[in-house]
Structure 1
Amino acid sequence: MPPAAPRPNRQSLNLQVGEWGEQLVCQWLTQQQWHILDRRWHCRWGEIDIIARSSASTPTPHINANRLAFVEVKTRQAQNWDADGLLAITQSKQQKLWKTAQIYLGKHPELAELFCQFDVALVQCNWISQPPNTVDIHDELQETAIDIKQPFHVGGYQFILLDYIESAFTL
């Protein structure tokens, strides 16, 4: 019998859980008629978790079809210290995201005329059981409808998209 694969260390597990939280938000955004342009886009100023463009074919009174969202995803366990990640979006963090977005738009001038917004997605992740060695959340999410405040189970964890805050801050 082959030896069992080693369990990931705490840091790599936290990175994986963070990536799963981002993937959950990407799936939800796609279901809301957004097109994901980039994930984990980074430059010297920082990183933007998700960059998405609205893809609604016909604008409605509350949806501008020409929007670009720079999305910060915060994945936290229940009963955390920072209001599910909301308190981590400090003035300093907002300025870094703004500078990073400016550089992104400089590299993608075709998007510079779109209405830009900074959104925040709050995801809760709770450990339920021992996670398997490998889990492909992409396969798990393929057929799943994601709703705000509805649990989604993957790899021994329960994820909940607690809130999606459009235009969470402006500079």
Structure 2
Amino acid sequence: MANLPPSHYPDIGHLGEDLVAQWLQSTGWVILHRCFSSRWGEIDIIAQYDGRTGEKLLTQDSLRAKRPATANSIQHSLLAFVEVKTRSSGSWDAGGRSAITPQKQAKIWRTAGIFLAQYPEKADYSCRFDVAIVYCQKISKNLTGVTANQEALATSSVDGYKLKLQEYIPAAFDSLIDNG
């Protein structure tokens, strides 16, 4: 049987990004962009989280009363620029971690800057750079038996592949630099 042309096979990178975007949405994030690109590079997912805190506020009235006012619905928006690495077993780059070089990080930083310039209303939001590690396995029709594996944050099966979100690393550039 002849091999099918590469264009016939699904892009496992996009399948991994789909899984991560769905997981982020299920945890309260709003997906602003997928595959945001500039001349510097591309960011797989840009997501926003609007958290609420019960912080104390200093208002003019509370200053006069010499006590802080309580605000139960203060909104703090956070932007995550997410790099998704989808790999199959036996990947050469530590599940995608080694592919996030300082050069790749610099491209993502620059592209994030372009995004913030295009959306100045988001320029004051807190920002971080996250990495999602997705494991992809071709589903074999002859698969029998049970295999033990690490618990996944999310899973999906699509186009003959089983995908598992193995790890989500918030503020990963900091930890990759520290542990690199």
Q: TM-score, normalised by structure 2?
A: 0.73
Q: Does residue 9 of structure 2 align to residue 13 of structure 1?
A: yes
By how many angstroms is 1:151 displaced?
Answer: 3.8
Q: Does residue 114 of structure 2 align to residue 103 of structure 1?
A: yes
* Partner residue in 2 for 1:85: 96
By how many angstroms is 1:11 displaced?
Answer: 5.5
Secondary structure in 1 aligned to 2:92?
coil
Paired residue type of 2:31: I
Of the three residues 44, 50, 66, the one matched with 2:77 is: 66
Q: For structure 1, which runs of at least 5 residues remain unmatched after alignment?
A: 1-6, 131-146
CA contact 2:48–2:79 (8 Å) conserved in 1: yes
CA contact 2:23–2:154 (8 Å) conserved in 1: no
Moved more, 81-90 or 148-157: 148-157
Of the three residues 41, 55, 60, the one matched with 2:36 is: 41
Partner Cα distance (1:80, 1:39) in 2:
25
Partner Cα distance (1:116, 1:72) in 2:
14
CA contact 2:136–2:162 (8 Å) conserved in 1: yes
Q: For structure 2, which runs of at least 5 residues remain unmatched after alignment?
A: 56-74, 142-150
CA contact 2:19–2:155 (8 Å) conserved in 1: no
Determine what percentage of the aligned residue pairs are the same residue. 45
* Partner residue in 1 for 2:72: none
* Partner residue in 2 for 1:136: none
**Shift in CA distance, 12/18, structure 1 to aligned 2, threshold 3 Å:** farther
Q: TM-score, normalised by structure 1?
A: 0.76
By how many angstroms is 1:78 displaced?
Answer: 1.3
